Each structure stands twice: as C-alpha cells, then as structure tokens.
Amino acid sequence: MKAIIVGDKAKIILPMVKKYGFSIVEKKPDFIVSYGGDGTLMISEYMYPGVPKIILKGSLICKKASPLPNEEVLKRVKAGKYEIEKAWKLEANANGKALLGLNDIVVHNSNTRHAMRYTVSVDGAAIGGGIIGDGVVVSTPFGSTGYYRSITDSSFEVGMGLAFNNSTEQADHIVLNEERRLLITVTRGPSTVYADNQEDSIVLQTGDLVAINKSKQYAKIVRPK
C-alpha cells in the first residue's frame, strides 16, 4: 500500500505508518494519511482530491477521526478491515472561477467594518428579501459540525444547510435538498467567497452573483471496521 502523509508534523507519524507496511511515495498513492486535525483533512482533500483519506489524530480538534488509537487504525486498514465513506462536495462558481468545498462554501463581507447586503434564491425562486449581515455559510452534512454549527447550534445528516451569519434581522437557518441550486446576489459589496480553509478565494463586487450547488466530486474517507 502506497501512501503520502499530509500534516505539519508528518515526521512524527512516519515511523508508525511504515511500521504497518505502508510505503511512502511522492505520487500516485493508494491512500493519503491526514495527520493533524479537521483542517488538515480539508487541506489533504484539496491537495489530493478523490484519493482515500486515512485520518490519524494529531490534534485535540479532530472530530472526523476514528475513536480508535492511531496504531489500531493503521493496523485495520492494512488488514483490509475498513469501509470507504463518500462525502459529497459543494461547488461555487463566480466571475469565471470555481471553488470546491468538502465542509462548506462561505460568502463573507470583505470589509469587516461594513456588513454585506445580498439576496438568496433557490432554483430561481427568491428566499425572502434582502439580507444584511456578515454573509452566509452553505454547508454539507460532513461540514455541518463546523462553522455551520457555531452559527446555528445545530447540525444535520442529510441535505445542504444555509446559516446566516450575524444578520441584522432574525434569519433562521435552512436545510434544503442537496440537489437544489443556490444563487447569491451581492447587492452591496465587496464580498469574498471561500471554500473550507483554502487560500484561494473569489472577490465579488456589488451586482456580482455566485452559484452554489452540489458537485459531482466526492471525498473518500477511510473508516476502519
């Protein structure tokens, strides 16, 4: 089994990964070993999309990891005692650019001194009127225990969630069927679109639109039995 280790402290886990028979390579891996926290997992998926991810705990904030010890995780994967969880992603398109997010797509005010104004439509039908606030978080079920939960104090297992961040008027979160298509129109910018914790972003000005929908791409998460 060939593997690439992703994480700031990859050298720490290297001897253990080799101990259980994984060959460390630089390209064409069978697995990506994500060693760190949940943020490391998102980075590893961004760097190596679609390659199965083995999550090893290297941080106190690693909710997506197995409760098993790291050594036991590697031992079971090496023995073939695992399943692959497919987690769908979100795609954002604006101004000729695209972003993919495993956890969420965030549209946020670029200038923290000024709220952004925007409207939201689903499959071409507007949801309410104009919204004023810091923006909106569109989350997958996989990512609903992150930023989405910090805003709504809730999570979900099916669908696509919208969390309205610091709106001036009460705006309840919404969970929609993941096949619906969202369109967010900035009526006062500038605003910025982010995906997960990636450095890439898209800047939106007043009048710009960002389309957000379920991507055809999936992340593959290794779950030891």
Catalytic residue among 30, 38, 123, 196: 38
What element of type H or E holds 184? Answer: strand 182-188
Strands 160-165 and 135-139: antiparallel
Distance from C-alpha of 41 to C-alpha of 172, rounded to nearest angstrom: 29
148 Cβ contact partners less than 8 Å away, ≥ 6 residues apart: 104, 137, 139, 155, 161, 163, 173
CA distances for 204 relative to 21, 93, 105, 192, 212, angstroms: 48, 11, 14, 6, 14
**DSSP bridge pairs for 145:** none
79 Cβ contact partners less than 8 Å away, ≥ 6 residues apart: none
CA distances for 189 relative to 113, 195, 215, angstroms: 12, 19, 26
125 Cβ contact partners less than 8 Å away, ≥ 6 residues apart: none
- 153 is an active site residue: no
Give catalytic residue positions: 38
